[in-house]
Amino acid sequence: MVIRSPIRGLTIGAAVLATLVAGCAALRPPVRSVSIQRTAHGIAHIEAPDHESLAFGVAYAYAEDNFCQSADQLVTIRGERSRYFGPDAKALLGLRELQNDEIDIFVRSHMDDAALAAALRAASPGTRALYRGYIKGFNRYLHDHAGRLPRACNGAPWVRPMSEADYLRLQELLMVQLGVALHADAIAGASPPAAGEPVAAAPGVQEAVAALQRFHANEPLLGSNGWAFGSKVTRNGRGVLLGNPHFPWQGVNRFWEVHLTIPGELDVMGAAIGHSPLVQIGFNHDVAWTHTVSTGRRFTLFELALAKDDPRSYVLDGSIVPMTAQRVSYEVVDAQGKVTTREHTVWRTRFGPIVEAPKAGLAWNRTHAYALRDANSLNLRALDIWLGFSRARNVRDMRAALAGLGMPWVNTIAADRAGHAMYADVSVVPDVDAAQLQRCAPSKEAAALFTAARIVVLDGSRSDCDWQRDRHSPVPGWLPIERMPVAVRRDWVQNSNDSFWMSNPAIDWPAFSPLIGEIRHPQSLRTRSGLHEIRQRIAGTDDIAADTKVGIADLQAMLFGNRNHAAYLVLDDFLPVCREATDEALRAGCAVLTAWDRRDNLDSRGEQVFREWWRAARKIDGVWRRPFDPANPMDTPAGLATDDARVRTELLRALAKAIETVRAAGFALDAPLGEVQVYTTKHGPVGLHGGPEFEGVLNKVEAAGPDTLASGGYRIDFGSSYIQTVTFDDRGPVAEAIMVYGQSSDPDSPLSFDQLPLYTGKRWMRLPFHAEDVARERVGDVQHLTLD
């Protein structure tokens, strides 16, 4: 057969044509199939042939549950909040609620699309494939559901497809949300002093520390408990793990449960925050891991000596260097819908943007200013670490993955099937050791911020004090793993957001950079509560079981026992004092405290009286009978100094105030906690067990904002979120978990807070990991997507 070509004089044989067609087909990318199955509570199980198609499926499935939340976050990272929602409204920038104009100014000044794109080009092939796939998956969902999106964003003018720059910005904000993003308003508000403006007196250290709480210097906005047990103490001789992150219940820092499979390459299940294409906390066939926010510092400030008579220039190595005036513009909509453009100047230096917070001791006057450099900026290496975790066969493999550096701001706690437990604070920390801290010390007032609040300020007048020697280095100025704390053991390790020091008291740690964390320092009550529970379990002296071993049921009982550690430290000293009171109200409050079970369970009566009393009592000067002893950090401070008449008087005054607060809020003193502490769903308020940080309750729940008792009770919106307990048998992982708020951020979705009854009832869900278990428990049809 001969086919005549439309080109005169040219004929093509059928065999030749077939060869050409086949060749052209071979040049086209293969069509890849992605399957999505859902099991109970909407957990997504995604299988794909490669990284790009896997991320495509993740983005699509995540959008099914959280599209409007994602679209809103894209408005944030584009710097368009004032354009669509007005400049004075507030929204979350990472973890802080700020005005929209402050958010837009920060985003438009901080996000460097060219630098982010260059970092992506330098990233691993796996990371680049994951980025491509996620963007395509989000946009495919938007295309498939045009006009049929959830009501919160359907038809909204701010809903647009995701670009590569958008996704890079999402990841950048995730990396810097515990660093430079916390200071966005101080960057937007920085302006040079006016001519002739006098230099104000520096605030005292305590005043500065109080002002720094605006940036959460001492009280991070995220927390967690992470425990790992090895073969010496577990029931089955294999690893056992508890992961209990304490994260917000609203916004893109909510977790989402997912199971990811690339046949023959990875099979991993767990959860992730934001727009991650990979599991961040979870398990595979051989290892399980969790993360806790570490004490490592992610940024440093640089104290600049300003040029004489020119506060817009600074002195560096004896030379005058002018600051850069970065002009940013952003659109603003007014109440009538009129859109105008505003401009703002952000001042930048070689060290980063100028920050101004005079009450915190960070004034921009005619002699000094302060610039901030965040080590996590342009950090695209984290995905490679989580990819390494997904493939790991043991904790040694996990350590090897961490050695690549890039874990942004968390510790890693892990256990493997062979019975090893690992603790590692291998996260992004500027490479500044104790010698450099001393050599590059700033003014006395600025140096005091490190002792008081662990705010690192370095001398910005010398280039040799800059820890970022080469911005283009793969790990620019970060501490290497060899100089960071890592321990692999057969007994146990733990972390509840204190430093590495007490991860296991038997470890004799070498000296590390002070920027990693403190030693010989008081531990939080939550850390001490965890250490108490672990010691009791291993000694067999708790009421959980008669033996001395640990399994996942034991971990669940330890966490949800809701033991109030503060109560056990102080009530035995306080009750004799309050029983002597003659005031009727004090005697009533004392009777309630006496009868209270010292736990934060739904049926615990009177916990609110203790909470409001301890909120004030813990701040009384000299309140502890046994002060902190570095030689006994697990059991000190403890007791109340009731022999001191002043302390005794203030303790009773605090009880009177607590009673007044509880009654003014409309609650009986002995009301059960389940009536006082609630989360309000679309169906009404739901009572919650658990308690706040300052009471030392492991199962931490509290309000992200002010948490004093008021009408309606304690309004909880932060704390225990995705909770997993994992061990291993001959088949692989055995995991039970709860996602407190469910898979969906859409209040209209049936997956919004549908797991809350599991949490309130202390009922754990067995997670289906093996293919046959997923098939048996599948809900609905398998969803098939194609990517070419």
Q: Please give the Cα distance from 323 to 757 (Å, whole number).
A: 56
CB 369 within 8 A of CB 304: yes
Q: Please give the Cα distance from 422 to 289 (Å, whole number).
A: 9
Residue labelled with tokens 């061990």: 727
CB 671 within 8 A of CB 678: no
Beta bridge partners of 32: 787
Let me know if 461 is a catalytic residue: no
Start-to-end CA distance of the chain, whole Å, equals 34
Residue labelled with tokens 């009538």: 336
How many CA atoms, within 13 angstroms, populate the side-chain half-sphere of residue 120?
19
Other beta carbons within 10 Å of 169: 23
Tokens of 783: 């969803």
Angle, in degrees to the nearest 10, between helices 125-144 and 164-176: 110
Pairing of strands 281-283, 287-293: antiparallel
Q: To 5 degrees, how large is the angle CA 466–CA 472–CA 474?
A: 100
Of 224, 276, 604, 744, which is the active-site residue? 224
Tokens of 460: 């910005």
Tokens of 44: 């997504």
CA nearest to 185, candidates 103, 112, 108: 103
CB 456 within 8 A of CB 297: yes
> What are the contacts of 622-625 at 24+ separation with CB within 8 A?
622/646, 622/647, 623/647, 623/650, 623/651, 625/573
CA nearest to 755, candidates 771, 769, 744, 768: 744
CA nearest to 268, candidates 420, 427, 391, 161: 391
Residues in the chain: 788
Question: For 566, which DSSP code?
Answer: H
CB 714 within 8 A of CB 547: no
DSSP E strands in 547-676: the ranges are: 624-626, 638-640
Beta bridge partners of 654: none
Residues forming the active site: 224
